[in-house]
Structures are given as structure tokens and as C-alpha cells.
Structure 1
Amino acid sequence: MPGKPLGEGIEIRDGREADVEALLPLLRGYCDFYEVSPPDSGLRELADTVIADPAEGSLFVAEEGGALIGFAVMGMKWVSTRGSRAGHLEDLFVSPDARGKGVADALIARCAERCRELGGTALGWITATDNHRAQQVYDRVGGMGSTWMEYELEL
């Protein structure tokens, strides 16, 4: 998979229970970017659940010098138009001071690797139409834009 090389001393790994408190500021940074404010309890539950139960998804972290500098959350689903399983990158965030070090590229690559391990034939994601920096990353790693529109039903 193409992409920017990962900076020296940065590790991409599975998230662990011990990471949850350090993940909260990154999760909050992601939410702040999208101007939403779920409660910390919900963010903790997301991290705890995905870390504890692989059937719920995968949470990867980027670590540099013992500090978490980014994360990605992905899940798997069946896609009838493919006749196969595919991964969906739900969340991707790199702390502002760690951007430009190849962290986002490496997190996407790790999600793609996990997706393949689980029998997935594609990895998809969405982004805001005005998130041009992220779109540059997605283009760099070989992502292709889609003509599909996303809808959401609030429950």
C-alpha cells in the first residue's frame, strides 16, 4: 500500500486496556474537530468495548516515546454489492503536533492488514467534504472517492 513512511520511533499497535485514559484526549480531539461533544463515559465505553471484544472491532494506537499520538477504530461488515466482508474505518485521528510523520498512513495500513486477516476484500471510510488534509492522506494511500451518499437515521 502506498503512503508516507512512518517516522522513526513510532509504533502502531493494538490498543490495550491500559491505554484508555491516555486515549480520551485523542478521542476528544477527534470529536472537537467534528464539533460534537459526546460524554467521556461514552468515549470510554467505546474504547473499553472495542479493546475487550474483537467482534466489536479493532482499535489501533500510534505511540511515540511512551505517549499516544494517534488512533484508528475499524469494524467489519458484510457488503451485498461485493458478496464479501469489508472493513469500515470509523475513526482516524492524529494529534496536531504529530501530523506529517506518516502516522495516519500507517494507521490506515494497519486497518487494511487487519481487514485482510478477517477476510475483508475492501476497506472503506467517510470524511467531511471540507476535510481536505484528510483527503490528501486518503488519496496518497490509494483510496478512491465514491459516488455513494451517506445517510443517517437518529435513534
Structure 2
Amino acid sequence: MTEAERIAIRPLAAADRADWQPLWQAYLDFYRQELAEGVTEAVFARISGDGAHCGLVAERDGKMIGFVHYIVHETTWSLAPTCYLEDLYVDGATRGGGAGRALIAAVGDAARARGCRSVYWHTHDDNARARTLYDKVAVLSPFVRYDQILTPQS
């Protein structure tokens, strides 16, 4: 059995909090992000519940080695919804074994089942290792992303 064949993908569950947390923290560290604990608690509640956000995990030999979070939403360019793959992370020690590809494929399957026209995601332009996989499973968009940071109104 190959490494990729030993990977199981399943929905994230509330009972996964302790196994998900170190992977989530490693993901945040990779992107040099710090979140208040309350934000992390709210994120986990969203992705492990029955709301619009969804979470899947990759396991190998019963151990969680990765996750993906996604959200299906309406779009102005189609009657069919689209799917935003928001977060994808695979433990560094297991990268290259097929978990990332399997998680992306599982999001595609879930999006297709919900009638989506596409799945899209972002990454840093210097995330070369991930982009090697992304170039094999998707088409690089010509769009450039801009962020406008909003301050609370007083």
C-alpha cells in the first residue's frame, strides 16, 4: 500500500480539537500570523459545526496529519455557487505523501456535490512547495488580490 493509499479524509468533528490545534498553530506560524485565543475558538466552532464553513482532516494510520477549511458561497458571475478553499495545511514531516492532493480533491468532491462551478484559493507567491502541487491540480489565475484593512467605526 502506498503512502497516498493510507490517507483517509473525513469531516472535522468537535472531538478533533486537541489534534487540530497544533496543526492550526503551525499553519499560523507558517504565515506569520498571531490570533487571539478567542478567534481560534470561534474558527474551530465554525469549521466543526453545521454552518457555512466546513472542515476536513487527513489522517494516516489514525493520526491527523492535515486539514482543509472551505466555504461555499454565491457569486455574481454564475447562478451556481463557488467554493473558496480558505486554509490548507499538511504537517511538514508528512508533506509530499499525497495528503494535500487528497484534501484538495475532497473539497472538489464536496463542492461538486453542492453544485459549485469552481474551487479557488490563494497562497503566498513564494510558497514554492505548495505551488508545485497547485500547478498540477489547478490553473493559476491572472487576478491580483488587494486587501483593504478596515478599522472599526467609533
Q: Is the 8 A contact 2:46 2:54 kept in 1?
A: no
The superposition leaves residues 78-114 of structure 1 with CA deviations (integer Å, 9 ceiling, x where unpaired) of: 1212342100000000000111110000000000111
1:89 pairs with 2:63: no
The alpha-carbon distance between structure 1 residues 6 and 150, as it changes in their structure 2 partners (threshold 3 A), is: farther
Alignment partners' CA distance in 2, 1:104 and 1:59: 14
Map of 2:102 onto structure 1:
106
Map of 1:144 onto structure 2:
139
Map of 1:16 onto structure 2:
13
The number of equivalent residue pairs is 149
Map of 2:71 onto structure 1:
75
What is the aligned-residue RMSD (CA, Å)?
1.5
TM-score (normalised: structure 2): 0.90
Larger RCO, structures 1/2 (Cα 8 Å, 6+ apart): 1
Q: Is the 8 A contact 2:68 2:88 kept in 1?
A: yes
Instruction: Flag the structure with larger Rg.
Output: 2
Amino acid of the structure 2 residue aligned with 1:133: R
Runs of 4+ deviating beyond 6 Å: none
Unaligned stretches of 5+ in structure 2? Answer: none
Moved more, 109-118 or 40-49: 40-49
Identity %: 31
TM-score (normalised: structure 1): 0.89
Alignment partners' CA distance in 1, 2:45 and 2:54: 11
Amino acid of the structure 2 residue aligned with 1:7: A
Q: Give the one of 132, 150, 154 matched to 2:149.
A: 154
Unaligned stretches of 5+ in structure 1? Answer: none
Amino acid of the structure 2 residue aligned with 1:130: D
